[in-house]
């Protein structure tokens, strides 16, 4: 598929369990909660899913490839900073972000009141118009690890354009 033009579409998924004291950080926003999220960086499931979606859509690998948990440089890192770095990688490859859609899955805390702030934080770090970003929050109605309150998950889809696959082969 050498020389194939984008737009590409990518899917990102991330899950972190609760552990230790709060607060949590989701979509770059600090939210008071009794538990924190365990992760090598700050455990921000939304930013991680968005980063993976962007990297996948661009054919640039995945978040573990660029920010491996075996690398101490990323211990406790801000996931907004990681997302900014992903945006820089795309820009260097001539790839434009055409849209981002993320969903956070959690029983608690209630995240609805923070949706717009998450969208604004992501838009700012990626230098995008907020109209290109959508964040939603869902519960899992008591089912699975999120329903039992063991952790949080996020799914994201990204659409990108520009560049060409041959640039990355």
pLDDT at 40: 83
pLDDT at 169: 44
CATH topology of domain 5-168: 60s Ribosomal Protein L30; Chain: A; (3.30.1330)
pLDDT at 109: 93
Q: What are phi and psi of 18, to 5 degrees?
A: -75, 145
pLDDT at 47: 96
Distance in angstroms (rounded) separating the CA atoms of residues 40 and 21:
15
pLDDT at 168: 43
pLDDT at 6: 61
Burial class of residue 102 (count of CB atoms within 10 Å of its CB; 0-12, 13-18, 19+): buried
pLDDT at 164: 57
Q: What is the pLDDT along the chain (169 residues), one digit of tens a residue?
A: 445 556 699 999 999 999 988 999 999 999 999 999 988 888 999 999 999 999 999 999 999 899 888 877 878 788 999 999 999 999 999 999 999 999 999 999 999 999 999 999 999 999 999 889 999 999 999 899 999 999 999 999 999 998 655 444 4
The full set of domain ranges for the chain reads 5-168
């Amino acid at each position: 598929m050498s020389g194939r033009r984008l737009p590409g579409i990518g899917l990102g998924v991330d899950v972190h369990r609760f552990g230790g004291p709060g607060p949590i950080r989701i979509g770059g926003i600090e939210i008071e909660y009794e538990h924190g999220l365990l992760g090598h960086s700050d455990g921000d499931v939304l930013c991680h899913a968005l980063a993976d979606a962007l990297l996948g859509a661009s054919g640039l690998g995945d978040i573990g490839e660029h920010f491996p948990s075996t690398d101490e440089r990323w211990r406790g890192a801000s996931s907004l900073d990681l997302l900014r770095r992903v945006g820089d990688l795309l820009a260097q490859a001539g790839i434009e972000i055409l849209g981002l859609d993320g969903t956070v899955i959690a029983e608690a805390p209630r995240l609805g009141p923070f949706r717009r702030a998450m969208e604004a934080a992501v838009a700012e770090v990626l230098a995008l118009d907020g109209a290109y970003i959508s964040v939603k929050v869902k519960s899992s109605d008591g089912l699975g690890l999120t329903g039992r309150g063991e952790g949080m998950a996020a799914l994201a889809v990204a659409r990108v354009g520009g560049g060409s696959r041959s640039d990355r082969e």
